[in-house]
Amino acid sequence: MGVTAEGRHPITGNTAAIPHFLQGERIVDGPARSLPVFDPALGRQTGSVPMASKEAVAETVAQARSAQPAWAAMSLGRRAEVFFKFRTLLGQRADELALAITQEHGKVLSDAKGEISRGLENVDFACGLSHLLKGAKSIEVASHIDVEEYRLPIGVAVGISPFNFPVMVPLWMICSALACGNAFILKPSEKDPSASVLLAELFSEAGLPPGVLSVLHGDASTVNHLIDHPDVAAVSSVGSTPVARQIYRRAGERGKRVQALGGAKNHMVVLPDADFEAAADAAVAAGFGSAGERCMAISVVVAVGAAADPLVDLIRAKMANLRIGPGTDPQSQMGPLITAEHRDRVAAYVGIGAGEGATVVVDGRDVPFSGAGFFLGASLLDQVNPRMEVYQDEIFGPVLAVVRCATYGEALAVVNGNRYGNGAAIFTRDGSAARRFCREADAGMVGVNVAIPVPIGTYSFGGWKDSLFGDGHMYGPQGINFFTRSKVVTSRWPEGDDKGPGMNLNFPTN
């Protein structure tokens, strides 16, 4: 497939062709179908990414399949060593990786570095793989009979990742999959594919054998070929809800193990006794950080009773100081959106909200920007109600909605009535209200005076309802479960004059 040197795009000739990473090497595809990759701050194409064909998928799966047994047979200590070395390299190359993120995603450099440091938690966790893969053993469950459970790799697994975390989400999957002794094929987002190539290269430098981790670029058809391949045992994916649902269904129909994380609409309930200053800071940071393109972004503030007026005033005042600009400018707090189409779609929601009767407190469409970048100002919509499209849809951009409720009970009903259930937060000084919310909110991750409650790497990440299809969360202990299969062995080693049960046709009892 293709040639092994980096080169110019075969059609445009003037943009960099982004390579796959296969068998430990960057591989530039030959005359493959490709899509443009943009620098969102400049608003122009900077690269092109190949779309792997069915044949390329078959070749990559074959390489993964042949590399996996030796990786699984490598001693746990040597496998862990790869993660320790990778951890060092990731630290040394963090600036380069952050720049690769910013140039294709648009998020500000400090945020890109934050994403890398959260991904590092998954590497730290994988460094302890000798502990994580401990099985269990019970001795003398019956006379001279022992039972033990092994945690074994599943073989070849694939990962499908979204554009919004081009390093952290791949690391969620890669670290768990490789730690467990699997081979892994990542199909990164076609919108910002370069960072994942660098990640795979660092794993290779850290001593990962060729073929154990591949990066294969593509679109929906590549994903379908990967899911359909009979030698692929498991599919781990993160993306929008319609795509998650499709992947879950397709993989499930083919008998594959699958976890498919979907979209979100995260609520932040603010009770009248909350610290409004802190709540407003959190709402602005969690609503507009990464231009609202986070699966754990706050998109709805649910203001209870007397909280509403002061909170809206504070949020509006704080939004006036937001610095929006290129992610490479250290002054910028918020960068552009991922594409021109997405920017226009998000902007249209402000008009939709106004048409539905919401009050446009701050209109991001009014913010002037020079140049061709995909910038949009931040918007605040008040008096939103749960029947509105602007409330129901995942906008995935810098548009924050405020829903006003009279009581905690009403606020909880709003949170639980939403079809998504990724994260939910409550801001209050009342410990018992917070404690109730933790129990009663229908969401997989809950924050108390914390707007973005992404669990640390020793826990697992996942939502409820339309935010996750499948029954396992990502990374942490549940990631290890997902990427291993268990085998339980029952053995009898008679001692002394134990002659065993003899020819007893009854079902064995203990």
Choose the catalytic residue: 127, 175, 180, 295: 295
CB neighbourhood size of 371 (10 A): 11
Choose, by CB under 6 A, the member of 164, 182, 259, 333 that binds ligand NAD: 164
501: CB partners within 8 A, 6+ apart = 508
Catalytic-residue membership of 180: no
253: CB partners within 8 A, 6+ apart = none
Tell me if 214 contacts ligand NAD by CB under 6 A: no
Tell me if 37 contacts ligand NAD by CB under 6 A: no
Choose, by CB under 6 A, the member of 159, 162, 166, 326 that binds ligand NAD: 162
Task: State the nearest-atom distance from the C-beta of 167 to ligand NAD, in Å.
Answer: 12
Q: What residue has token string 């959106």?
A: 337
The C-alpha angle 122, 125, 129, rounded to 5 degrees, equals: 125
Task: State the nearest-atom distance from the C-beta of 187 to ligand NAD, in Å.
Answer: 6
**Near ligand NAD by CB under 6 A, which window of 104-112, 193-201, 256-264, 489-497?**
256-264
388 to each of 220, 407, 443, 506, how far by Cα in Å?
A: 31, 20, 21, 64
How crowded is the C-beta side of 221, counted as CA atoms within 13 Å? 9
Task: State the nearest-atom distance from the C-beta of 487 to ligand NAD, in Å.
Answer: 30
Residue number with CB closer to ligand NAD (86 or 163) = 163
Cα separation, 423 vs 211, whole angstroms: 36
**Mask for 381-420, x = binds ligand NAD (CB under 6 A):** -------------x-x------------------------
Residue number closest to ligand NAD, CB atom: 239
Tell me, what amino acid is at 495? E
Tell me if 223 contacts ligand NAD by CB under 6 A: yes
Choose, by CB under 6 A, the member of 21, 83, 125, 163 that binds ligand NAD: 163
Tell me if 220 contacts ligand NAD by CB under 6 A: yes
Which residue stretches of 74-93 are H helix? 76-92
Tell me if 177 contacts ligand NAD by CB under 6 A: no
Tell me if 111 contacts ligand NAD by CB under 6 A: no
Closest CA to 324 of 343, 302, 305: 343
Task: State the nearest-atom distance from the C-beta of 482 to ligand NAD, in Å.
Answer: 14
Cα separation, 63 vs 34, whole angstroms: 23
**Near ligand NAD by CB under 6 A, which window of 97-105, 138-146, 164-172, 372-380?**
164-172
Task: State the nearest-atom distance from the C-beta of 509 to ligand NAD, in Å.
Answer: 46
Phi and psi at 116, nearest 5°, equal: -65, -40
**Near ligand NAD by CB under 6 A, which window of 235-243, 269-277, 303-311, 423-431?**
235-243
Cα separation, 383 vs 281, whole angstroms: 20
Cα separation, 271 vs 256, whole angstroms: 44
200 to each of 161, 185, 298, 321, how far by Cα in Å?
A: 14, 10, 32, 39
User: Would you say how long the chain is, in residues?
Assistant: 510
Task: State the nearest-atom distance from the C-beta of 227 to ligand NAD, in Å.
Answer: 8
Task: State the nearest-atom distance from the C-beta of 441 to ligand NAD, in Å.
Answer: 16
β-strands 420-421, 399-405 pairing: unpaired
Which positions are annotated as active-site residues? 295
Contact residues for ligand NAD, defined by CB under 6 A: 160-165, 169, 187, 189-190, 219-220, 223, 238-240, 243, 246-247, 261-264, 295, 394, 396, 422, 463, 467
